[in-house]
A = this chain, B = another copy of it.
Amino acid sequence: MDILAFAKGVFEAQRFSKFIGAELTGATPTTAEITLAIRDELKQQHDFVHGGVLSYLADNAITFAGGIALGGNALTSEYKINYVRPAVGETLIARAKVEASGKRQAVCSCAIFVLADGAEKVCAIAQGTVVPAG
């Protein structure tokens, strides 16, 4: 199975991901990467990217990393996120990784980077749980 192609198929069916403008740019048996070009309508009152956008990226990257580990149909049941730097730049990249997985859950971490002037800086860190759907 081509994991990235399979994951992209699911991702393309997420209308909110299209609405927000995100792209699934990586998927392996233990990782997932989502990329999002920063534009004005993603920002808050201080011209930083809104925390809700970073949250979307963390939630969804965790879902895909954990979902692959669990073999397909899965959902994020919970996560936490720490914002560590205002997100200012051209592009956001969320990279999630499976830290531990079994039949019943996959626990994943996720770091979100902002790409500005050619350099990546971490702007949020998350940890969450993915469980089989249904």
Chain B residues near A33 (CB-CB < 8 A)? none
Which of A17, A45, A82, A125 has the most CB atoms of chain B within a 10 A radius of its CB? A82
Chain A interface helix/strand/loop/mixed? mixed
Chain B residues near A49 (CB-CB < 8 A)? 16
- Contact A45-B100, Cβ < 8 Å, known A107-B84, A107-B125: no
Task: Check B43 against A78 for contact (C-beta < 8 Å).
Answer: no
- Contact A19-B45, Cβ < 8 Å, known A83-B77, A125-B100, A125-B109: no
Question: Which residues 80-134 of A have a CB within 8 angstroms of B?
Answer: 80-85, 99-100, 102, 104-105, 107, 109, 111, 122, 125-127, 129, 131, 133
Question: Which residues 19-55 of A have a CB within 8 angstroms of B?
Answer: 19-20, 40-46, 49-53, 55
Task: Check B14 against A44 for contact (C-beta < 8 Å).
Answer: yes
Chain B residues near A82 (CB-CB < 8 A)? 77-78, 100, 107, 127, 129
As for how many copies of this chain the complex holds, the number is 4
Which of A57, A76, A100 has the most CB atoms of chain B within a 10 A radius of its CB? A100
Residue of B nearest to A14 (CB): B44
Task: Check A44 against B16 for contact (C-beta < 8 Å).
Answer: yes
